[in-house]
Amino acid sequence: MAKILVVTDEPWVRNDVHSALTSPEHVLIDHDDPTSAADAATSEEVDAVVVDLQVAAMGGMAVTRAVRDATSSDADRGVPVVVLLDRRVDAFLAKRAGAAGWVTKPFSSHQLDSVIDMVLAAPEAE
């Protein structure tokens, strides 16, 4: 069972993520404060983070970087982060921020579930 932190302040985004990932294999933890997302990822010992591109006054790329910095070490890349993009062209920025994966909104349940499965199955070290 994978614990997944969902970082968004938009109810419709939260609902879409829950629709896509609600299953016996996932436990979803909602979080709407981007400034404490990295702390929540650490304290909740999550296996992955899903973050909206824009959360409150903080961008998803900054949240991605904070989570990766707070959870990584020399031996591994830390908790994988999946970014929910507004446009496909933002994939370049997501990759530069250290995201393990991304999907463009609106996304299908299959798309998000597939990306989550991929990042959870990926080896931690590069």
Sorted by sequence, the CB contacts under 8 Å of residue 70 that are 6+ apart come out as: 38, 39, 41, 42, 78
**What is the tens place of the pLDDT at every residue in 57-107?**
889 999 999 999 999 876 677 999 999 999 999 999 999 999 999 999 999
What's the pTM value of the predicted model, to 2 decimals?
0.93
Give the pLDDT of residue 57.
82
**What is the tens place of the pLDDT at every residue in 41-50?**
999 999 999 9
Can you list the pairs that 23-28 forms with residues at least 24 positions away whose Cβ atoms lie under 8 Å? 23/113, 25/1, 26/1, 26/2, 26/116, 27/1, 27/2, 27/3, 28/4
Residue 5: is its pLDDT beyond 50? yes
- Local structure of 101: helix, strand or coil: strand
How many other C-beta atoms are found inside a 10 Å radius of the C-beta of residue 23? 12
Counted residue by residue, the chain has a size of: 126
Residue 126: is its pLDDT beyond 50? no
How many other C-beta atoms are found inside a 10 Å radius of the C-beta of residue 116? 25
pLDDT mean over 5-24: 96
How many other C-beta atoms are found inside a 10 Å radius of the C-beta of residue 118? 13
Give the pLDDT of residue 124.
55
